[in-house]
Chain A
Amino acid sequence: MNTRIFFASDVHGSERCFRKFVNAAKFYKASALILAGDLTGKILVPIVEGKDGKFRFDFHGEPVTIGKEKVPEYQSELRNAGIYCFATNEAEMEELRADKARSDRMFVEEMKRCLASWVSLAEERLKGTDVMCYISPGNDDRFELDEIIRKGDHVSNPENQVVQVAPKNQMITLGYANITPWHSPREVTEVELKTMIERLADGVTDRAGSIFSIHVPPFGTELDKAPAVDEQLNYVREGMGTVKMTHVGSTAVREAIEKYQPLLGMHGHVHESRGFVKIGRTLCLNPGSDYGDGVLNGGLVSLEDGALKEFVLTSG
C-alpha cells in the first residue's frame, strides 16, 4: 500500500507558509502532514502611528512609512514573512519601552494566538479527510506553546512520542537541539539529547520502517552547515564573497542514526542546508527554510509496505 507523507519545518510564524503547509495534503495527495519544529516567529514589530498620522515600522531592517489605509496590507505582508506585528501609537510605545515584561508578554501572547489560529485552520481544512497533521515544537519554540497543539480530529502534537504515521511506519519526534549560540528555549547537552533519543527509539517496535523526526540534523553532513558566528554573534567571513560555514548538527543524532538505522531521518533547524544524505541505509532529509519569502520548502516521501519508495524536496 502506497502512502505519501509531506514534511516541513522552520516556518517561524509565516502565515503564508502555514497555509501552504495545510493545503499540501490536497496538493501533493499526502495522507500525513508533518511540521517538525520552529513554528513561531522571532520578532514582534510595532507599527507606530506618528503625530502626522503616518504609520512607521522596520521591515527587514529598513524603515517604512505608510498611510493608515495601507496598514492592513502591510500587516499581512509582515505576517507572511513570519513577523508578528501590532498597530500602536507613540504614547503606548513609550510605555512598552519602559516595561520590558509587558512587551515580552505581548510577544508570547501573539505567538500563542497565532498558533491557536493555525491549529483551528488545520482542523477546518482537513475536516472530512483521512489526513493527520502532526505539529511539534522545535528548539526555538517556548514551552507555553505545547498546550496549544491539543489532540484533535486531525491535528496532534507527536513530541516525545512514538506514533504510527503510516500503516507500517512508526515515527519518533524530538524538537530539542544541542547547545546553540542563540540560547533558545529547548537546548540540551549532547549527552542529554542522546538519552532522550534512545528512550524514544527503544519504544519503536519496528525499527526497519521507523522514521526519526528529530529537529536538529546529524553532525558532519551537508544538512548541518550553517554560517559560523563569533562571540558577538556576527558572521565569520571566509574568503571573498562567502560566510564561513560550519557544522552545527548534533553528534548524538548522528550516533543514533548510525546505531538504529531508521528508514528515514527528517530534520530542519539549519535553514541554509537544504539537501539529503545517506547515513548507512538511512535517508536523511533537510528541506531547508525560506519562510521569510513565504516559500514553503518540504520533503515529499512515498512509502510502500513500510519501505521507502521515492522522495523529492519541494519548494512551493
Chain B
Amino acid sequence: MLDAIALNVSNMSAGAALATIGFTMVALSSYTGINLVYASLIAFVFSIPQVVVYTMMTRRLSRTGGDYVWVSRVFGGLFGSAISFMGYTIETLAYLALIALSAVFAIGSVGLFFYPTSSSALGLALPGNLSGSTPYLQALVGVIIFAILIAVNVFRPRFGYKLVSVLAVVGVIALIVGIFVLLSAGQSGVSSYINSLGINGTTYSSLASSYTGSTFSLSACITILPFFAIFVYPWINAGPAVASEIKGSRSIRWNVPIASLVVMVLVTSAFGAMYYAGGYQFVTAALSNGNLVYDYSFNFWTLAMGAANNQAIAWFLGIGWIVWTMAILAYGIIVASRYFFAQAFDRFLPESVAHISSRYGSPTVALTIQLIVTGALVAIGAVLYGGFQSLYAAVIASMIYFIFVGIAGFLYALRDEKGSSKGILGLCGILMALVFAFISYQFFTNPTVWGTSATAFGLPGYDFAYAYAFGSFLLGVVLYLWSKSSHKSKGIDIDLAYKEIPPD
C-alpha cells in the first residue's frame, strides 16, 4: 500500500507548488484575504468528490491506464480517446515543460541564494521577459535537464523508477526539514534573513506593516483554486493508472484518499509554517511583492534556506527543492509513456508508438516524442512567452478532461451500480464535474493570471496554450478517425475494442 501511496504523492507536485505560489500572488489583481492554509484546505475539500470517484472507479475497473480506460469505455472510442489524448497524454508534455522550466528557476534561485551577485543565477531565476533574464539559456538548461532524464529512461530504463524513488524521498525529507526550520527559526529568524537581504526600503517590518487587509476571505481563497488545481489536488491518477499492478484490495481502496491526505498535510503545513514563522501579514505582502518574488525568488524554500542561518541546512534545502522538481519530471516521463502505450495497444495511436528497443529494452519512440514535444514547449515557453507561467493555460486541457471523468463516473453509476453505491458515485461524479467546470471557468475568465498575455507572432501566451490544448483534441479526433478507417479496410473495427461484450 505504501508503494501505491508513494506513487500518487510523487505525482502531486507539492514541492513545485510551494516554490511558485509567489508568481501567482504577484499576478493577481487583488491578494487581500488570500490565506494559503485555508485555500489549501478548501481546495482539498473541493477535491473530495474526485477522490471518491477515483477510489470507487479504481475498485470497479482496476486496469492499466486508469481514468483513460473509464472514459474511453463509457464514452466510446472516438470521444473517449480524443478527450484523454488532449487531457492527459498531450497535456502531460506541456506540464513536463512547465516543470522543466520551474527546475531551471529552482537552479537559478538556489544559485542566487548562495551567490547573490551572480548574473548567471539571476538570469536563470528571473522570468524570461524581465530585464536581466537569459531566456535562451533557460531554454537550453531546461532542455538539457529533460534530455538527460529521457536518456536515463532510454539507456537505463530500470534505473528510471529508482531515480524517481531517490529523488522523491530526498524532496519530501527536504520539505519536512524546511517546515521544522521555519517553526524553530520563528519571527526572529525570518526577519533577520529578510533584513539581511539589504533591499532598499524593504525590511521585515515594512513588509509586515504594508499589509492591512483581513487574514481570510472565502472569495479570495476561491480565486486561487486554479493554482492548487495546476500543481496539487487533482493529480491523483498515478495509482489508478497502474491499478492492475497494485497488489491487495486495501491498497486499491486506500491509496488515493491517503495520498491526498498526505499531500494536503505537507502543503498546508508548509504554508502554515511560513505563517507561523513570518506572520500572515508579512508572508502575504512578501509573496505579492514582485521585487522579492522575482529578484530574490522569495518562496517557501528560500525563506526556509534563509531562516535556517546555516549553510549546510540551506544547501540541503536548496538541493531538496531542485531534486523535487527532477522527481516530478522523472516520474512524469514514465507515466506519459504508459498512456502512450495504452493508447497504442487500443490502436488509437500507431503501433510504432509502443515500440520497445530490443537493444535497450526501452520505449524509444514514446520517449523521443516526449523529448521533441516537451523540448519545443520548453523553448517556446522560455524564449517567446517568459517562462513556466505561460504554460499554466495548457492545464485547462486536463481541467476539461476531469469534467468528463466525473461525468463518466456518474454514467457508470447510473448504468452499473446498485444501492447506496449508485447514489454516492453518481453524486460525486456530478460534483466532480461541477468543480472542474468551475475551475475551467476560472481559467478562461482570468487568462493573464492562469497563463500569460506576453505575445509572440501576434498570439498571446494563453491563446497559444489554448490552441495547443484544443489542437490536441482535434488531433486526437483526426488520429482516431484515420486509425478507424485504416483498420476497417483491413477487417478490424477498432470501436469494438472499447465496448464490453454482453455476457448473457
Q: Which residues of A contact B (CB under 8 A)?
A: 2, 4, 16, 19-20, 23-24, 27-28, 60-62, 221-222, 227, 235, 237-243, 271-272, 274-277, 288, 290, 293-296, 300, 302, 304, 309-316
Distance of B173 from chain A, by nearest CB (Å): 13
Give the residues in chain B near A24, CB-CB below 8 Å: 501
B354 contacts the other chain (CB 8 A): yes
Q: Which of B92-100, B161-169, B210-218 forms contacts with chain A?
A: B161-169
Pick the residue among A241, A290, A294, A304 that contacts B3 (CB under 8 A).
A241
Give the residues in chain A near B492, CB-CB below 8 Å: 4, 300, 302, 309-312
B156 contacts the other chain (CB 8 A): no
Q: Which of B57-65, B128-136, B185-193, B444-452 forms contacts with chain A?
A: B57-65
Is B7's CB under 8 angstroms from A20's CB?
no
Pick the residue among B169, B249, B503 that contacts A23 (CB under 8 A).
B503
Is B487's CB under 8 angstroms from A312's CB?
yes
Given contacts A240-B10, A275-B354, A315-B63, contact A20 B503 (CB under 8 A): yes
Is A242's CB under 8 angstroms from B501's CB?
no
- Distance, CA A222 to CA B351, complexed state (A): 14
Is B161's CB under 8 angstroms from A239's CB?
yes
Given contacts A239-B165, A242-B161, A313-B346, contact A295 B504 (CB under 8 A): no
Is A293's CB under 8 angstroms from B161's CB?
no
- Distance, CA A16 to CA B161, complexed state (A): 36
Closest A residue to B491 using CB positions: A302
Is A276's CB under 8 angstroms from B354's CB?
yes
Q: Count A/B pairs, Cβ under 8 Å.
A: 127
Distance of A25 from chain B, by nearest CB (Å): 10
Give the residues in chain B near A239, CB-CB below 8 Å: 161-165
- Distance, CA A238 to CA B165, complexed state (A): 9
Give 19 pairs: A residue, B residue, CB < 8 Å, sorted on A: A20-B503, A27-B499, A238-B158, A239-B164, A240-B6, A241-B4, A241-B7, A241-B164, A241-B165, A241-B238, A272-B244, A275-B354, A276-B351, A277-B356, A288-B244, A293-B61, A312-B487, A314-B496, A315-B69
Give the residues in chain A near B248, CB-CB below 8 Å: 61
- Distance, CA A128 to CA B356, complexed state (A): 44
The 5 A-B residue pairs whose C-beta atoms are closest, nearest first, are A302-B491, A241-B7, A240-B165, A310-B490, A239-B165
B345 contacts the other chain (CB 8 A): yes
Given contacts A293-B60, A312-B487, contact A274 B345 (CB under 8 A): yes
| Category for how many chain B residues contact A | 35 or more
Closest A residue to B502 using CB positions: A23
B341 contacts the other chain (CB 8 A): yes
Give the residues in chain A near B502, CB-CB below 8 Å: 20, 23, 27
Is B164's CB under 8 angstroms from A274's CB?
no
Pick the residue among A243, A294, A302, A313 that contacts B245 (CB under 8 A).
A243
- Distance, CA A222 to CA B361, complexed state (A): 8
- Distance, CA A312 to CA B495, complexed state (A): 10
Give the residues in chain A near B499, CB-CB below 8 Å: 27, 316
Given contacts A241-B6, A276-B354, A312-B347, contact A60 B249 (CB under 8 A): yes
Give the residues in chain A near B244, CB-CB below 8 Å: 271-272, 288, 290
B497 contacts the other chain (CB 8 A): yes
Is B63's CB under 8 angstroms from A293's CB?
yes
Distance of A36 from chain B, by nearest CB (Å): 18
Distance of A224 from chain B, by nearest CB (Å): 12
Closest B residue to A240 using CB positions: B165
Is A293's CB under 8 angstroms from B62's CB?
yes
- Distance, CA A229 to CA B158, complexed state (A): 17
Closest B residue to A300 using CB positions: B492
Give the residues in chain B near A274, CB-CB below 8 Å: 64, 345
Is B504's CB under 8 angstroms from A61's CB?
no
Give the residues in chain B near A296, CB-CB below 8 Å: 501
Give the residues in chain B near A4, CB-CB below 8 Å: 491-492
Is B3's CB under 8 angstroms from A243's CB?
yes
- Distance, CA A276 to CA B350, complexed state (A): 12
Is A295's CB under 8 angstroms from B6's CB?
no
Give the residues in chain B near A294, CB-CB below 8 Å: 503
Closest A residue to B3 using CB positions: A241
- Distance, CA A139 to CA B499, complexed state (A): 30
Closest A residue to B69 using CB positions: A315
- Distance, CA A91 to CA B501, complexed state (A): 42
Q: Mark B169-183, 1 if CB is under 8 A from A, else 0.
A: 100000000000000
Other than A61-B248, A239-B165, A312-B346, give 20 A-B pairs with Cβ distance below 8 A: A16-B503, A19-B503, A20-B503, A235-B247, A239-B162, A240-B7, A240-B10, A241-B4, A241-B7, A242-B245, A274-B64, A274-B345, A290-B62, A293-B63, A294-B503, A296-B501, A312-B487, A312-B492, A313-B345, A314-B496
Closest A residue to B62 using CB positions: A293
- Distance, CA A316 to CA B500, complexed state (A): 4
Closest A residue to B345 using CB positions: A313
Given contacts A4-B491, A304-B491, contact A238 B64 (CB under 8 A): no
- Distance, CA A234 to CA B499, complexed state (A): 35
Distance of A310 from chain B, by nearest CB (Å): 4
Distance of B61 from chain A, by nearest CB (Å): 7
- Distance, CA A313 to CA B60, complexed state (A): 21
Closest B residue to A235 using CB positions: B247
Q: Which of B4, B494, B500 neighbours the largest number of chain A CB atoms within 10 Å of its CB?
A: B500
Q: Which of A288, A294, A302, A315 neighbours the largest number of chain B CB atoms within 10 Å of its CB?
A: A315
Distance of A20 from chain B, by nearest CB (Å): 4
Pick the residue among B10, B60, B69, B341 that contacts A275 (CB under 8 A).
B341
Given contacts A237-B3, A238-B161, contact A27 B341 (CB under 8 A): no
